Every structure is written in structure tokens, then in C-alpha cells.
Amino acid sequence: MKILAFAEQRNSQFKKVAFEAVKAARTLADKLNADVVAVVIGNSVASIAGQLGGYGATKVIVAEDPRLEFYSTTAYAKIIAEIAKQESADIIFLPASSMGKDVAPRIAVKLNAGIASDCTALTVDGGTIKATRPVYAGKGMIDVNIKTSIKIFTLRPNVFTAGNSNGASASIENKKVELSDADFIVSVKEVKTASGKKDVSEADIIVSGGRGLKAPENFKMIEDLAASLGAAVGASRAVVDAGWRPHDEQVGQTGKTVSPTLYVAVAISGAVQHLAGMSSSKYIVAINKDKDAPIFSVADYGIVGDAFEVVPALTAEVTKLHGK
Amino acid sequence: MKILVFVNHVPDTETKVKVGADGKLIDPTGVNFMLNPYDELAVEEALRTREKFTGEVVVASLGGDSNKETLRKSLAMGCDKAVLLKDASVRDSFAVAGALADYAKEYGAEIIFFGKQSIDYDGAQVGGLVAEMLGLPSVSVVVKLEIKDGNIVAEREIEGGHEIVHTKLPAVIIAQKGLNDPRYPSLKGIMDAKRKPIEEKTIAAVESRVEVVEMRKPAAKAQGKIIGTDASAAAELVRLLHEEAKVI
Ligand SMILES: Cc1cc2nc3c(=O)[nH]c(=O)nc-3n(C[C@H](O)[C@H](O)[C@H](O)COP(=O)(O)OP(=O)(O)OC[C@H]3O[C@@H](n4cnc5c(N)ncnc54)[C@H](O)[C@@H]3O)c2cc1C
Ligand SMILES: Nc1ncnc2c1ncn2[C@@H]1O[C@H](COP(=O)(O)O)[C@@H](O)[C@H]1O
């Protein structure tokens, strides 16, 4: 048996989800007595490929091409499917990231495979792999069984923790995939990043603000607390709809689903649509002046008080802690 | 332009999930269904595309008779024609995509709009599956779209930024929040929608590739701790996060 793990990189640096995919593949492979082969695609990425050995890959296949400086849906799908065929892979792991979710369906069609998306757990039960995934934005969980012989799983970021590299090495193989212009019919020409801004979908800690903050300028307080914690700033839909914060910060059923280690909800009531996007966070802190706000029902720690007093005090305490 | 938009009919976002008697699906009693929120963005973008290039917008949904409600809403927003791909059985993303791809081919769409994901099963697969089945280019999680002389420049959302993607018509566009602000149906739109017929098509059965073994509610969370009622609680909260939870 063989598990292929797609190791996402941007700018010749692995994303955290790359290590998560390889490590999750290793964990499953140990139960199935399988091999783990990692795949890296990009322009000049051979030099980083070796890192994946430390997370459990025995072999890393590198597909390089100058036209692969940026992501291309069509070229990536072709490369991954071709490598999967060459390796006779039984299982393919991709992150449930923007890239992974984009390319996975295409690979599935090419390989006649079924997909379980956004998995949060994988177990082996009498030789069958059972994938657990949240549905209804986490209000329900389902266990699914993929019936096709090739199975694709996309893994929710931040759930399958990679831990540290154990320093092991892997063999590196270069794969030449013939790519024509037609394979680049969909291609990224430019990447715009909000400089220095952490994204909620990748952050370990998130500080989110809601309508109780009363005005957009009061988010300064949220940004300060986030900065002291090294956190990303999130928002409820109410403040996004009001134009106080950009769409990409919205957490919830119609925003982003997040699973950080710590989620701090400030002046957010905790409507079911908001809870849907963040209730799987490992620790939740709620700051709200209404003791009956539903957000407290999911919080591990709460302060029933005025955000305008509590948040600056919290920032000061965190700064004090980190200063020591 | 021949514009096609696929919409799903899903439990509304307020729904409290109750597992049904079969232990695999939700209990639909008392659940309100609505046009999938991401598909509302897809409908809006389809209408804007028609306003720019002329042509017609066909809206299609696969499901039982109740999906007509969502098709009517789409007609009320301004779609020209609605099609129900009739099948009330349970299908996985792959089986849904197969039927949608067949219809898209039959219709000969030049651009097909989808939503990012259905908010019931949160699969986020169908748009990409259909594109690959039809051999069409696709851009997913699109927050900005420009079409000119058959060329497409789209912005898609990635972690911490956006990608500028180039491609060509015919293509599949998968909408993400931020792409537009969907219009409300006008009174006239609602009246007109009541009169417009909904075409029904029977579709071939396709085998699902993924089966649900069990559905359950997520494990309930233990009651949290209220640490205090004013700023003086901040120090204790930071101590707990540092020493007890060990997350900062
Ligand atoms: C189809 C649909 C999809 C939706 N999707 C989402 C989604 O993805 N994400 C999302 O967030 N919402 C979503 N919603 C909206 C959701 O229902 C709520 O309206 C929204 O989450 C409320 O935002 P809020 O908590 O910031 O505001 P409010 O509900 O107005 O709550 C403000 C809170 O601030 C508290 N407060 C006020 N002043 C202070 C103070 N000085 N100090 C401390 N606390 C204070 C109040 O006690 C209150 O609890 C959706 C709704 C629908 C219908
Ligand atoms: N039954 C359906 N009928 C029509 N369109 C659908 C259906 N299911 C999914 N879609 C479309 O595919 C998108 C992605 O769905 P999913 O992969 O189920 O999350 C949705 O936003 C819809 O645009």
C-alpha cells in the first residue's frame, strides 16, 4: 500500500499543512503497513524537499518547471494524477487549503477516486479507513467510507498536528512531467499578499471582534491584543456586513471555518452561524458584557464585562507575560 | 452568452442538527430550507454577466420537488429559465456532479457558475468535479471576476492573500463571499417568477463513491469558567491561558 502526500509550498517554503499532510500519512501508513511518498511541485523546490523526511516520507518526488512558479489548477492536477499513477498510490492526502480543495476534485476525476473533504480524523477499522468530517459547519459529524480503490482525503488545517521534524532523511526523485501550454489554461499570474497580515485560516491564535465594539476604529484595541499574542484578527459577519472589516476576516458558517489553539471572541454574541465556524477551536475565551450571551456556552474561559476595559487590560497582561 | 448557474437547496443556517432515525442523515422535521448562500452569489454574478454581455441565465438544481422553492427564488432574482434535475435519492458529490455535467453539456453553457460549497455537507467539490468532467478551466473561491474578449481575469482567495488567475471562456467560476452583494428579488421579480415554468428533467442514476456510515452530534463541551466581571480578571485569565491551558 502506498500513501501519496501532497506537500504544499509557496515561494519555495513549505506551508505548515505540508508537514501536517506528510505526518498524517505516516500515522495512517503505520497502521496499514504502507509507504509514504511526498510530492512537491514548484519552480525551484528541490532544495527544500529533504525536509519532508523528518515528518515521515520515505521518498519525495519533485516536479519542477519554471512555469510552476505560481499555482496552476490544471497543471497541478495533471502532475499529481500522473505521479499517483506512476506510484500506484492507493491513498492521496492533500490539505483542505485553498490550493488543496481546488485541485482535489480534478485529481479525483482523473483517477476515478472518491474524496472525503476536510477530514478531522482518520481511523482504521478492520482494514477499512474511516474518515470523520464535520457537516453543517460542525453542528454534526459524519463518518464516511470511500468505496473506490483509490481514495482521496483532504485534511483540515491545524487538526493533524505535525510536531517537530525527527531529522530523518528521504530519497529524492525528480519527475519530469511533459506539460503543454494547454495544461496552463488556468494559471496564476500574480499573488497579492496582505503584507504581514496573518490569516485566520492559518493562525494558531485568533482574536475576533463583533458588533459590540460599536465602531470600526475600536478594532484598534483588537489589533493590539492580537499583536501581543501573535494572533490573527477575525470578525463576526455583523461587522463585515457593516463594512468595518474585510470579508476575508469573517469567521462562521458563511465565512471561514477555523480550528486555532486559542480563539478569543470579543463583543460577539455567539449566534449559531458564528459558533459554527469556530466551535472546534481547542480553547475559547469569551469577553462579553451580557452574561447570557450564547458565546459563553462554548467558552472555556469567560469574562463578563465591558470589552473597552477588559481588552486593554488583557493586552497589558499578555505583554507583561511575554516581556519576562 | 449562454450562462448556467447551479444552485443547491439546503437547511438554513439556524438549523439545529438532529440526527435522523437511520443514523446517517439529519431529521428534516421543522427544518427550513433555503437557497445555499454561496449559490446566491453565483446567481448574482450570472445576472451581472448577462447584463454585461446579453444572453440568458438558466438556473438548475438537482433534488426533489422542494428544490423548486430555491429555483423560484433564483427566478425572482432575475434568472430567465429554471430546470429541476429531478432525483430525490441521496447522492454524494460525485453523483451530483455527474448529473450536473451532463446537463451543462446538453445545454451548451459558455460559462457556468457554482457556489464555493453547499452549507449542508460542506463538500466544496462539485464545481471542480464538473469542470474536470467537462474538460473546462475553472477558478474557485472567486472574489473578483473580469471577462473581456473571451479572456478571464479572476481573483481567488488564498490564505493571507489573493491569487490573480488568468483563463479563458468557456469556463467554470466558483463563487466566494466578497464577489458581490446579491440583490433582493423585486416585487415584480417575485410575481414574474410565479408565472415562469420550471422545466423538469429525469436524470440517470450514478453510483456514489462515498457512503456515510454514521452521523452524530459533536461531543458536548464541558461548562466553562467565568473568571470575573471586570478588567481585574485579565491577570487571572492570562495566568490560566499560560499555566493551565498552556496556549500562550
Ligand atoms: C445566512 C446567514 C449566514 C450567516 N453567517 C455568519 C457567519 O459566517 N459568521 C457570523 O459571525 N455571523 C453569521 N451570520 C450572522 C449571525 O446570525 C449574527 O447576526 C452575527 O454573528 C452577529 O454578530 P455579532 O455577535 O458581532 O453582533 P451582535 O449579535 O449584535 O452581538 C454583539 C455582542 O456584543 C456584546 N457587547 C456589546 N457591547 C459590549 C461591550 N462594551 N463589551 C463587551 N460586549 C459587548 C453584546 O452583549 C452582544 O452579545 C449569518 C446569518 C445568516 C442569516
Ligand atoms: N444538488 C445540487 N444541485 C445543483 N447544484 C449543486 C447541488 N449540489 C451542489 N451544487 C453546486 O455545487 C456547489 C458546491 O457544492 P458542494 O461540493 O456540495 O459543497 C454548490 O455551491 C452549488 O453551486
The pLDDT tens digits for A255-285 are: 999 999 999 999 999 999 999 999 989 999 9
B98 lines ligand 2 (CB under 6 A): no
Closest ligand 2 atom, CA of B115?
21
Distance in Å, CA B67 to ligand 1 centroid: 29
Nearest Cβ partner for A135 among B121, B157, B213: B121
Burial-class residue A167 by CB neighbours within 10 Å (0-12, 13-18, 19+): exposed
| Residues in chain B closer than 8 A to A116 (CB atoms) | 210
Q: pLDDT band at residue A102, thresholds of 50, 70 and 90? A: very high
pLDDT of residue B58: 98
Is residue A49 within 8 Å of residue A18, measured between CB atoms?
Answer: no
Residues A159, A161, A167: CA angle, nearest 5 degrees: 160
Letter string b/e over residues A253-270, b meaning 16 or more CB atoms within 10 A of that residue's CB: bbbbbbbbbbbbbbbbbb
CB-CB neighbours of A245 under 10 Å: 23
Q: How do beta strands B151-158 and B138-148 pair? A: antiparallel
Tens of pLDDT, residue by residue over A113-126, are 999 999 999 999 88
Probe residue for ligand 1, chosen from A269, A272, A308 as the CB with the greatest number of ligand atoms within 8 Å: A269
Q: How do beta strands A9-10 and A13-14 pair? A: antiparallel
Closest ligand 2 atom, CA of B113?
23
Tens of pLDDT, residue by residue over B162-215, are 999 999 999 999 999 999 999 999 999 999 999 999 999 999 888 899 999 999
pLDDT of residue B182: 97
B43 lines ligand 2 (CB under 6 A): no
Instruction: Identify the bridge partners of residue A190 per DSSP, sorted by sequence position.
Output: B164
Nearest Cβ partner for B158 among A98, A113, A134: A98
Closest ligand (CA of A287): 1
What is the architecture of the domain spanning A205-321? 3-Layer(aba) Sandwich (3.40)
Closest ligand 2 atom, CA of B122?
19
Closest ligand (CA of A108): 2
Residue from A74, A80, A98, A122 to probe the interface with B (highest B Cβ count within 10 Å): A98
Is residue B99 within 8 Å of residue B203, measured between CB atoms?
Answer: yes
Q: Could you tell me the sign of the dihedral formed by the alpha carbons of A53, A183, B3, B85, in that order? A: negative
Mean pLDDT throughout A160-182?
95
Nearest Cβ partner for B163 among A135, A191, A298: A191
Q: Could you tell me the sign of the dihedral formed by the alpha carbons of A309, A314, A317, A318, in that order? A: negative
Q: Could you tell me the sign of the dihedral formed by the alpha carbons of A213, A219, A224, A228, in that order? A: positive
B248: closest CA of chain A, how far (Å): 7
Kindly provide the ipTM of the predicted complex, given to two decimals: 0.95
Is residue A222 within 8 Å of residue A313, measured between CB atoms?
Answer: no
Instruction: Identify the bridge partners of residue A266 per DSSP, sorted by sequence position.
Output: A209, A287
> Hey, which residues 134-193 in chain B have their CB within 8 Å of chain A?
137-141, 143, 155-168, 177-178
Question: Do A306 and B93 make contact, defined as CB atoms within 8 angstroms?
Answer: no
Residue with cell 515521515: A56
Question: Do B216 and A140 make contact, defined as CB atoms within 8 angstroms?
Answer: yes
Is residue B8 within 8 Å of residue B34, measured between CB atoms?
Answer: no
The protein residue with its alpha carbon nearest to ligand 2, atom 6, reads B8
pLDDT of residue A324: 58
Distance in Å, CA B20 to ligand 1 centroid: 30
Task: Fill in the amino acid letter for B94.
Answer: F
pLDDT of residue B206: 86
Q: pLDDT band at residue A75, thresholds of 50, 70 and 90? A: very high
> What is the spatial distance between Cα B26 and Cα B22, in angstroms, rounded to a whole number?
9
Q: Which residue of A has its CA nearest to B127?
A: A105
Is residue A90 within 8 Å of residue A2, measured between CB atoms?
Answer: yes
Mean pLDDT throughout A214-222?
98
Question: Do B212 and A143 make contact, defined as CB atoms within 8 angstroms?
Answer: yes
Pick one of 3.10.290.10, 3.40.50.620, 3.30.379.10, 3.40.980.10 as the CATH number of B2-202: 3.40.50.620
pLDDT of residue B221: 82
B156: closest CA of chain A, how far (Å): 9
A208 lines ligand 1 (CB under 6 A): no
Q: Which fold has domain A2-184?
A: Rossmann fold (3.40.50)
Closest ligand 1 atom, CA of A254?
8
Is residue A119 within 8 Å of residue A156, measured between CB atoms?
Answer: yes
Tens of pLDDT, residue by residue over B89-131, are 999 999 999 999 999 999 999 999 999 999 999 999 999 999 9
Residues A189, A194, A196: CA angle, nearest 5 degrees: 125
Quote the pTM value.
0.95
Contacts made by residues A50-54, CB under 8 angstroms, sequence distance 24+: A50/A169, A50/A170, A50/A172, A51/A14, A51/A19, A51/A165, A52/A5, A52/A7, A52/A14, A52/A18, A52/A19, A52/A22, A52/A170, A53/A168, A53/A169, A53/A170, A54/A164, A54/A165, A54/A166, A54/A167, A54/A168, A54/A169
Mean pLDDT throughout B132-161?
97
| C-alpha distance from residue A156 to each of A107, A117, A254 (Å) | 18, 8, 17
Tens of pLDDT, residue by residue over A130-158, are 999 999 988 999 999 999 999 999 999 99
Tens of pLDDT, residue by residue over B40-79, are 999 999 999 999 999 999 999 999 999 999 999 999 999 9
Question: Do A193 and B161 make contact, defined as CB atoms within 8 angstroms?
Answer: yes
Burial-class residue B225 by CB neighbours within 10 Å (0-12, 13-18, 19+): middle
Residue from A118, A248, A281, A308 to probe the interface with B (highest B Cβ count within 10 Å): A248
Distance in Å, CA A238 to ligand 1 centroid: 5
> What is the spatial distance between Cα A232 and Cα A202, in angstroms, rounded to a whole number?
9
Q: Does the pLDDT at position B220 exceed 90?
A: no
Cell of A209: 471582534
Backbone angles phi, psi at A263, to 5 degrees: -125, 120
Is residue B55 within 8 Å of residue B111, measured between CB atoms?
Answer: no
Q: Does the pLDDT at position A195 exceed 80?
A: no
Domain assignments of chain B as residue spans, ordered by start: 2-202
Closest ligand 2 atom, CA of B114?
23
Domain assignments of chain A as residue spans, ordered by start: 2-184, 205-321
pLDDT of residue A13: 97
Question: Do A305 and B213 make contact, defined as CB atoms within 8 angstroms?
Answer: no
Probe residue for ligand 2, chosen from B10, B90, B91, B114 as the CB with the greatest number of ligand atoms within 8 Å: B114
Residue from B121, B125, B210, B214 to probe the interface with A (highest A Cβ count within 10 Å): B210
Q: Which residues contact A76 (CB under 8 A, 6 or more apart)?
A: A41, A99, A103
> Helix (H, G, I), strand (E, B), or coil: what is residue A197?
coil
Mean pLDDT throughout A163-171?
96
A108: left (phi over 0), alpha (psi -120 to 50) or beta: alpha
Query: Quick one: DSSP state of residue A198?
Result: P
Cell of A260: 486555532
A218 lines ligand 1 (CB under 6 A): no
Q: Does the pLDDT at position A196 exceed 80?
A: no
Average pLDDT, chain B: 96
pLDDT of residue A194: 79
Cell of A227: 499583536
My answer on whether omega of the bond before B185 falls inside 30° of 0, hence cis, is no
Q: Fold match between A2-184 and A205-321? A: yes
Taking the alpha carbons at both ends of chain A, their separation in whole angstroms is 50
